[in-house]
Amino acid sequence: MNSDDDHVVASIRQRLIAANEPVTSARIEHYVREYAVALGDEAVADISRALERQLLGAGALQQLLDLPGVTDVLVNGPQDIWVDRGQGLQRTRVILGSDADLRTLAMRLAANAGCRLDDACPTADGRLPDGTRFHAVLAPLVDAAAVISLRVPQTQSWQLPQLVEQAMIPALWEPILAQIVAARIGVVVSGATGAGKTTVLAALLRAAGAYERIVLIEESRELMVEHPHLVALQSRRVNAEGSGEITLSQLVKESLRMRPDRIVVGEVRGAEIRELLLAFNTGHRGGAVTLHANSAQDVPARLVSLGQLAGLSPAVVADQATTAFSVVMHVRRAYHQGQLRRFVSNVAVLAGRGDTPSAPGSAITSLDALTWRGYGPSREGPGWAELQRLLTAAQQVV
């Protein structure tokens, strides 16, 4: 657009804001055509898109969100903006103006996400209308006027063969992972933020039988799964009046009344672990969750910690977790020959330490069945025989 178009955008923007009515794409185009009757269709479309970015989208950040392959856009200040397109974070040349402009953008995005963000409530976490995950923190909690984190939702539903094509798993692992799903073995997909847990879990769910009813529970919708019988539930935060909250724990309870074949929780991070363990130990086999953990070996400790938040003793967690979640798939991010890789580094089995003579006690241990460095051949570990036993035993009762 030229400077005249910029003037038109600014003028129409003021009119839309002054109208004090909900801003929609249709209203934007109506105002543009009304204000600039002499413009051609191409100019009207350009100005309408610019206004939508400012009033409905993410402003100057929208150009970054629209980049192919982008997963995250992070704003640390008006001139300190980073983007991740699958090869790690890279600084951009985008400038948002002044500190006041950045604060205004953060507050507008929060409003679009249905959140409150101001001096009395300086943090916000929600989802923009296009599905982008939004988080913001205002000064003085941060040095800048505001810090904004945007996570772009997946648009592709992955399958196991694609994980092989993208070198996320070795080719030899594809039939093993498919067997784990077919045998309805409970799975924990662990890893750090951005490692690819959601991608791996989505591929596993694609391998579930078309006749199975999957109930998916998430704090905010991120898992994109093409499956003929999937019901997605999403929790809800407390509103400005202090009511209306729907927790993950409540949704897990509700899912039990929805005749699920598999219950899936996008991310376990709190007391909902109690309801999950109960559900997975009362006939609802083949469920799956994602969990933040540094390694497959750290998953038992994370489960115990979450159980304690729910008032469960380590012994109770050990008894129920090893039945609910028999397999751990750990996803890593690592550089190899200058390229950032995301891959499944471990397939492990969970077992009670009382089941292994070398590690007695009422706790859980994680034994590697398969390991991989992201390149070269994979290796069998001490849990390989146990994984084979699990697959054989589970297939007999599917």
Q: Which is nearest to 268 in space by CA: 238, 307, 241? A: 307
pLDDT at 19: 63
pLDDT at 20: 57
pLDDT at 242: 65
Residue located via tokens 């206004």: 51
The tens-digit pLDDT sequence of the chain (398 residues) is 445 556 666 676 666 666 656 666 777 777 777 766 656 667 777 777 777 766 666 778 888 988 888 889 999 999 999 999 877 889 999 988 899 989 989 998 888 887 889 999 999 888 887 778 899 999 999 999 999 999 887 777 789 999 999 999 999 999 999 999 999 999 999 999 888 899 999 999 999 999 999 999 988 777 788 888 999 998 877 666 667 778 888 999 999 999 999 999 988 888 889 988 988 888 888 899 999 999 999 999 999 999 998 888 888 888 888 888 999 999 998 877 777 889 999 999 998 755 444 444 447 899 999 999 999 999 999 999 999 998 888 766 55
Cis upstream peptide for 140 (omega within 30°): yes
CA-based angle 348:84:164, to the nearest 5?
A: 40
- Helices marked H in 231-337: 248-255, 272-280, 299-309, 314-324
Task: Note if the pTM is more than 0.85.
Answer: no
- Judge whether 362 and 370 are in contact, CB under 8 Å: no
- Judge whether 127 and 133 are in contact, CB under 8 Å: yes
Give the strands of the sheet with 339-352, arranged side by side. Answer: 230-234, 214-218, 262-265, 288-292, 187-191, 327-336, 339-352, 364-371, 379-380
